Amino acid sequence: MCKDMSPVEAAIQFHGHICPGLLMGVRVAEFALNKLGVGPDVNEELVAVVETDSCGVDAIQAILGCTFGKGNLIFKDYGKNVYTIASRENGQAIRIAQKFRSSHTPESQRYRELVRKGSLTEAEAAEKEELIGLLFEQLMSTPFEELFDWKEIDFEFPPKARMHATVQCVLCGEGVTDIKATETAQGPVCPGCLAENGGR
């Protein structure tokens, strides 16, 4: 995160625009830092397990510093706005779940309708801008406990990221991490080629 940017500014810059989902992620990230008593991640001190691939995850990356590249952002494709943030430094972890009703206000539902519509009239575009301003005020000022449930949990920390060797797939010729390749009679085969060839 850029040192002279607020967390919300860093998240917006990373994500490319402002939206309610991103703001929810901002609230999660700021709450986690405060509750765990830590700063943004530098070298895998934090681990984030996210159960969605929606906008809020970009705030987790921008503010907490947990990323796929560092190996401390773990994605579970459950389709739930649930985030587990854990600190290796103090051994603590919290699980944060967005309350269903918090994203089903009339304003947020109307905002989603306009987003899904795609092409907007001038009046609708103005309404969308007005709604995002209203939602910003609502989401950033509402007490955290009205938006999310949270609890401390036991957490099994994954090993820190390791460097693996790259081998060449004998079918496509592309490089693949050795632990992802399947060894065949012909040599290593990447997961993509293995799937295309029916697991052979």
Q: What is the pTM of this model?
A: 0.84
CA distance to 9, 83, 152, 199, per residue, from 15 (Å): 10, 18, 28, 37
User: What type of residue sits at position 188?
Assistant: P
Q: What residues contact residue 14 under an 8 Å CB cut-off, 6+ apart?
A: 58, 59, 61, 62
Task: Supply the CATH classification number for the domain 166-196.
Answer: 3.30.60
Task: Supply the CATH classification number for the domain 7-152.
Answer: 3.30.1330.130
Region 54-73: mean pLDDT is 96
Task: For CATH 3.30.1330.130, list the domain ranges present in the chain.
Answer: 7-152
Over the stretch 146-193, which tens digit does the pLDDT of each residue have?
A: 999 999 999 999 888 778 899 999 999 999 999 999 999 999 999 999
Region 6-28: mean pLDDT is 96
Region 3-13: mean pLDDT is 90
Over the stretch 92-117, which tens digit does the pLDDT of each residue have?
A: 999 999 999 888 889 999 999 999 99
Task: For CATH 3.30.60, list the domain ranges present in the chain.
Answer: 166-196
Contacts of the segment 16-22: beta carbons below 8 A, 24+ positions apart: 18/132, 18/136, 19/55, 19/115, 19/132, 20/55, 20/103, 20/108, 20/111, 20/132, 20/135, 20/139, 21/54, 21/55, 21/56, 22/55, 22/56, 22/58, 22/59
C-beta of residue 102 within 8 angstroms of C-beta of residue 147: yes
Higher-confidence residue of 67 and 5: namely 67
Main-chain phi, psi angles of 24, to 5 degrees: -60, -40
